[in-house]
Amino acid sequence: MVCLGNICRSPLAEGIMKSKLEEHGLPGTVDSAGTASYHIGESPDSRSEETARKYGIDISYQRARAFSSADFDRFDLIFAMDRENYNNIMRLARNERDRSKVELILNRLHPGKDMEVPDPYYGGKDGFEKVYRMLDASCDQIALSIKN
């Protein structure tokens, strides 16, 4: 799960996706990263932590890290939150196999629409709630696709 800072959107996506795998008894490793380095080592934004906690998900253990090309070797699926993140990830891809792993996460919910999970950093708390719901619905689809 990849966003820009790895403090707002992708930590939520990591927490939600882990809970879906657990709920469905599915194997897999879920992690998150950012394509920018400003927040490396930081905990998730308190608004992301509070929103996740409201739904029974703890993301407070997470620490921001930067996405690197080594992640293409560690993961089969790489989900970008928006087009900027997508382009940043694609610039680090080394070959067609790497590129084939990258998707905009909302395309799992709205195929082919190239919609974006909006950056909630500068907005209010309801932005985080909206992001949570989009990610929850997308992660349901991802879990279903792993199951089938």
* Residues catalogued as catalytic: 3, 9, 119
The distance of closest approach from Cβ of residue 5 to ligand 4NP in the complex, given in angstroms and rounded to an integer, is 3
Beta partners for residue 3, in sequence order: 34
d(CA 71, CA 73): 5
Give the count of residues interacting with ligand 4NP (CB under 6 A): 11
Provide the H-helix boundaries in the chain.
9-24, 46-54, 71-74, 83-92, 96-99, 125-147
Taking residue 1's Cβ as centre, other Cβ atoms within 10 Å add up to 28
Asked if residue 121 binds ligand 4NP (CB under 6 A), the reply is: yes
Q: Does residue 55 belong to the site contacting ligand 4NP (CB under 6 A)?
A: no
- Are the C-beta atoms of 7 and 64 separated by less than 8 Å? yes
Q: Is 7 in the site for ligand 4NP (CB under 6 A)?
A: yes
Q: Give helix 9-24 / helix 125-147 axis angle, nearest 10°.
A: 40
Number of separate helices (H) and strands (E) present in the chain? 6, 4
47 binds ligand 4NP (CB under 6 A): no
Q: Does residue number 21 form part of the binding site for ligand 4NP (CB under 6 A)?
A: no
Binder among 3, 21, 80, 135 for ligand 4NP (CB under 6 A): 3
- Residue 38 interacts with ligand 4NP (CB under 6 A): yes or no: yes
15 binding ligand 4NP? (CB under 6 A): no
- By C-beta, is 9 or 20 nearer to ligand 4NP? 9
Binding stretches for ligand 4NP (CB under 6 A): 3-9, 34, 38, 119, 121
